[in-house]
Chains A and B, each alone.
Chain A
Amino acid sequence: MSGPRFPGFDTLALHAGQQPDRETGARATPIYQSTSFVFDDSDKASSLFDVARAGHVYSRISNPTVAVLEERVAALEGGVGAVCTASGMAAIHLGLTTITGAGGHIVASRSLYGGTHNLLSYTLPRFGIETTFVDPRDPEAFAAAIRPETRVLFAETVANPRCEVLDIPRVSAIAHDAGLPLMIDATLTTPCLMQVLRLGADIVMHSLTKFMGGHGVAVGGALVDSGRFDWEASGRFPELTEPYAGFHGMNFVEEFGPSAYIMRARKEGLRDFGASLSPGNAFHLLQGLETLSMRMERHVANTTSIVQFLSQHEAVSVVHHPDLPTHPDHALAQKLLPRGAGAVFSFELAGGRAAGSAFIEALQLFSHLANVGDAKSLVIHPASTTHSRMDDADLQAAGISPGLVRLSVGLENIDDLEADLSQALRRAARVASTPSVGKEGSA
């Protein structure tokens, strides 16, 4: 009985959730491009609807190709189960609305992806769900913002774009002391760099569109349940601990125990909101996931080099990455993210907004677009794009200055990337030194 071993991360990335197709022997996961699935007989049909047997009914609820991806993401995160969704935003929405409703309250980091900020600030309040935003670097602020109607704490592992690192063990302890789950957006770190469920988080979601898929060809999301939060002991979640009239009077905790949350997310959330992932996109995301750790190693290695390069460049005023000892979360990142703090970060050019524009337009290998986590290197100006719906106060609170530039470092040859950055920085410096443009830049 000595020496028990679980399959390793890379093995799971390649195999979890899939076995060679019994009918055809296909080694790769087939794309089951079918809306619905034939019942063997009427007993099987009724049993599937009663959740008395396992199987697929309709691809909005589950699909064999998507199920492989779901099980693989769950395995990589160490969760009891996962539900994949049409996008990362759909995963956040599903994750939150499975346990909150009208009158509910969320405590969230104020440093969030712009789309998440929109959802929490503007959209969910229309449905009676309020959010209090707090400084992610101040765990006690999460505690202070909790109300009787609070249902979940939410934050990102490493915030975009200034790389605030969340102290997940501390914030999860605060959540659990209050009988609440901690939900984490781990899109930018992936389970390769940080397995947040092992650090105390209860729910983790991803935009699979980013590093998990890695190739920028498919939009998708995933929601993963640790299975370790005690919904019954909390007493705040009748959605899970009391009979649900919308599903045969099912009490999800009684029936499913550790997987109550993720089962409810599927049986209610996918059924009624319908933001399911297509099998075609699931297939593309699976191809990317197979090489996750190798890609993340290269992403991190390239980022480490570029962070050093930029931090020593005279045209750059500040670089926001936890690799740097000057970053406020350097020590925390060393502890929680020993394999690297990710490949998305920001920096500020000495020349401000005009220099930033000139820099982005001069780049040739870096693509100017609204995405991160692609195999190819990307760049964007957050204030005018991803975070453009935030007002100046919110921008300031999120730490986004007008001249901030965000990079997502890809897998290209590092010498080529640094050469591209170097020539673009020279262009930016020339613009910054031009009086008329410099005046525009400071406006």
Chain B
Amino acid sequence: MSVDVVGLVWLVPGIPLAAAIVNGLFGRRWLHRTTGVIASVALGLSAALGLAIFFAVLASGGQPRVVTLYEWIGVGDFRVDTAALVDPLSATMVAVVAGISFLIHIFSIGYMEHDRGIHRFFTWLPLFVFFMLTLVLADNYLLMFVGWEGVGLCSYLLIGFWFEKPAPYTAANKAFWMNRIGDWGFTIGTILTFLTFGSLNFHEVFDKVAGVAQTQPLTITFIALAFFLGATGKSAQLPLYSWLPDAMEGPTPVSALIHAATMVTAGVYLVARSTPIFADAGSALVVVGIVGAVTALFAATIALVQVDIKRVLAYSTVSQLGYMFLACGVGAPIAAIFHLATHAFFKALLFLGSGSVIHATEEQDMRRMGGLRRKMPITYWTFLLAGGALAAIPPLAGFWSKDEIVGAAFTSGHQILWSVGIGTGLLTAFYTTRMIYLTFHGEPRDHHLYDHAHESPPVMTVPLMLLAAGAVLAGLVLGFPPDAGFIHRFLAGVVSAEAGQQPEAPNYVLIAVLAAVAVVAALIGIGIGYAMYARRRPDPAAVSRAAGPIYTLLVNKYFVDELYDHRIIDGGRALFGAAWAFDAHIIDGIVDRLAWLTALIGSGLRRVQTGVVGNYALSIAAGLLVLIVVYGGYATGMLHR
């Protein structure tokens, strides 16, 4: 190979950054809608280079390489570089992030066409991609934290994109604050890592983990839990999940890119990247698995009753992220990354499909839709494929990855987590069916809305079709045959719990049986959904009446927001109120008093300024006299020398 593409790795985040700077500086005045083209071209270059790097890593047999841009911090032995770690894991993430970002940027040209703030949109979206790529490429925790905070900032800015309305900026603040709690965990984890290992570099830390785990097992557990707290904030897991559904107030491409395909998976990436720490962290791994499984089930139940199409997808995202953490928890981080990749395709597609529907109807409430299949065939078919992938119907992408997670839970001896996974799969299939029926099938429930609906322009439908190809094929290409597919061999050296060891030969009979159980669960879910929403037997309204209090609980999302408001936010408000009072009365009081004293002295002294030159001259003369009296003796001594 003549060109060293891996050496150019910093261009992958660099090009989006350049686009963000150009659009930020010149967008409002001159570029306007051209910003979309600039950002898309930049992302196209970035994605092409990202794919080239992916194949270069593949060709080199997955050998990790560090590409140092410059030394960032160097104090004594402690050294942190702005350096990229290019290995199979980061190469996979770069290819997924850059590729999907590119398609979503193109889609956004059509979606944001009529928005006055389009230049802001195409400044922050490439900026987000820059930070996300920095996050996945970083070769140490500190640089990763820069990307981690950067994506949080961009997420905040883009959730509150329509800040004229109250709901988006409230949602943006909520997302910001919840993420702060998680970031606190990340910070604690980073500090503890530094104190324990004296380094923040991934390789140096991971080399020492096994030794330190012998002497200080509790410290390793604590570091893992702190990092996991960070992951729960960014990846919307219990108990820090509730910002993600609210984040749907942002523009739909943002929901697709940031709040489904990329940023929210940063927590999974963090856990997968830190596999050596988690592998030696004892009970922390159990916590990860349980939190993931409970979140998956919890969010899926809420998704059952949501009527806003984007909210269904948001809870579905929380649920799928739960699966990924479940995989990490049962010691199958490769399955987590696999599901991350397939989920990125089909969930981005579902969001963009919903965006296409919202663009056509200017409505998000599924109760007012219906029958749109005839008006928007491309959107419908791609949405159906993505829905099939979400419901884990073979041979679509979601089947391979989700089945592997659930299977891993069973084979690792966590039968309870396995059953939770299967149950969640049933619920997932049900709410996906319900969503597709309410939106695209049946008779139009709002004729005005239906008559104005139209298929989206090619700039939006082409990305849908490309993502649909991914949603169909990603699972087969990456993960077939199960447990020994391409992605498993590719990632085995980096993230498998027992690095270096050959994985055992998969037991295909067991895998087939487990897969059959999962598929049957999914088909039952689809069957119930079909019976309720296509046949009206049993009628959904009757079911919700019969369920009574359970239905109320689900519609109100288990009253978690209210609980947080009353138990935690109120306490916080009291604290902030006290802090404010201290600031207003004590700090400001001292400053005010000082100013008042200065003014008092000044008003006294201003009488001295008479403006009469004679007075000034007199005071100069008086001063001279004083000097003569004081130093007179000295002067006399000079005289008599």
Genuine A/B complex? no
Q: Which residues of A contact B (CB under 8 A)?
A: none
